[in-house]
């Protein structure tokens, strides 16, 4: 593991680290590109023991890589609860949520974390929901409907990055099409513009109705090609 950390520190750049910090990375940020992380993921995918060691190192990119190589079947609730309590900043929040969404723990973590008063844990919960909604599966519409109601009633009062994650979940649910799309669009109209502070970046908050329409067009295009 020490060799891998040395590699991460060697291939990182100050410029990339500065960019990551502007986008919410905190602590020991090494400046390793996602292209390089992707290459390391292919080499170490499924090495759960290594993932645990990488997370313990505390370095930002080491923790991101940990979420990329961790074995979803070996990931425990105790482990991810500890990991989410370590998180500060949305890049790592999003990476952890993507891992948890692949595990059997997804729904339990999602519902628990959504209730958290911690901005990052709550954000992770909603990011897991978005990941589940993006799956091309036969999950019943009724599963997602209560979350649309929760978004409608809570989003404008939620913490900054929780608002962003809830907006993303709204888009993902609407992107499933059918009655969920109609209901999501109704929620989007009711809540209006979602304001999120993106700090010193050019990032913008997606407008839900417009992005749901883009998803519909993308699906139609894919269907036409088949």
Assess if residue 175 is contained within a domain: yes
Whole-angstrom distance, CA of residue 90 vs CA of residue 24 = 6
| Domain with 123 in it | 92-226
User: pLDDT grade, residue 13 (50/70/90)?
Assistant: very high
Closest alpha carbon to 205 in 90, 99, 115: 90
Judge whether 120 and 90 are in contact, CB under 8 Å: yes
d(CA 108, CA 224): 37
Domain count, the chain: 2
Determine the average pLDDT of the residues in 21-47. Answer: 96
52 and 14 part of one domain: yes
Domain identity same for 10 and 121: no
- Please report the sign of the dihedral spanned by the C-alpha atoms of residue 30, residue 32, residue 38, residue 40: negative
Considering the domain boundaries, does residue 83 fall inside one? Answer: no
The DSSP secondary structure of 126-162, one letter per residue, reads HHHHHHHHHS-S---HHHHHHHHHHHHHHGGGS-HHH
What is Dmax (Cα atoms) for the chain?
53
How much is the mean pLDDT over the chain?
Answer: 96
Q: Could you give the count of Cα atoms lying within 13 Å of 2 in the half-sphere of its Cβ?
A: 0
Question: How many percent of the chain have pLDDT more than 90?
Answer: 94
| C-alpha–C-alpha distance, residues 199 and 77, integer Å | 32
In which band, very low, low, confident or very high, does the pLDDT at 196 lie, cut at 50, 70 and 90? very high
Q: Is there a domain that residue 78 lies in?
A: no
Same structural domain, 122 and 43: no
Radius of gyration (Cα) for the chain, nearest Å? 18
pLDDT tens-digit readout, 100-118:
999 999 999 999 999 999 9
Determine the pLDDT at residue 117.
97
**Which pLDDT score, from 0 to 100, does residue 224 have?**
84
Please tell me the pTM assigned to this model.
0.95
Interval 54-111: pLDDT, tens: 999 999 999 999 999 999 999 999 999 999 999 999 999 999 999 999 999 999 999 9
Beta carbons within 8 Å of 200's beta carbon, 6+ residues apart: 22
| Within-domain flag for 85 | no
């Amino acid at each position: 593991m020490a060799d891998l950390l040395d590699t991460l520190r060697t291939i990182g750049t100050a410029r990339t680290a500065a960019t990551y910090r502007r986008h919410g990375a905190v602590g020991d940020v090494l400046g390793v590109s996602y292209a390089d992380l992707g290459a390391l993921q292919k080499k170490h995918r499924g090495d759960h023991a290594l993932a645990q060691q990488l997370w313990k190192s505390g370095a930002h990119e080491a923790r991101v890589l940990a979420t990329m190589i961790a074995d979803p079947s070996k990931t425990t609730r105790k482990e991810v609860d500890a990991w989410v309590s370590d998180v500060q900043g949305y890049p790592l929040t999003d990476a952890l949520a993507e891992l948890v969404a692949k595990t059997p723990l997804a729904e339990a973590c999602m519902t628990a974390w959504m209730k958290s008063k911690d901005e990052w844990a709550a954000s992770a919960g909603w990011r897991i929901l978005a990941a589940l909604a993006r799956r091309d599966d036969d999950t019943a519409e009724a599963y997602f409907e209560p979350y649309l109601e929760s978004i409608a009633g809570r989003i404008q009062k939620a913490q900054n990055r929780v608002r962003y994650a809830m907006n993303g979940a709204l888009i993902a649910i609407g992107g499933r099409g059918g009655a969920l799309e109609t209901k999501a669009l109704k929620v989007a109209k009711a809540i209006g513009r979602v304001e999120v502070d993106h700090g010193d970046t050019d990032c913008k908050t997606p407008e839900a109705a417009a992005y749901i329409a883009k998803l519909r067009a993308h699906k139609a295009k894919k269907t036409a090609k088949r």
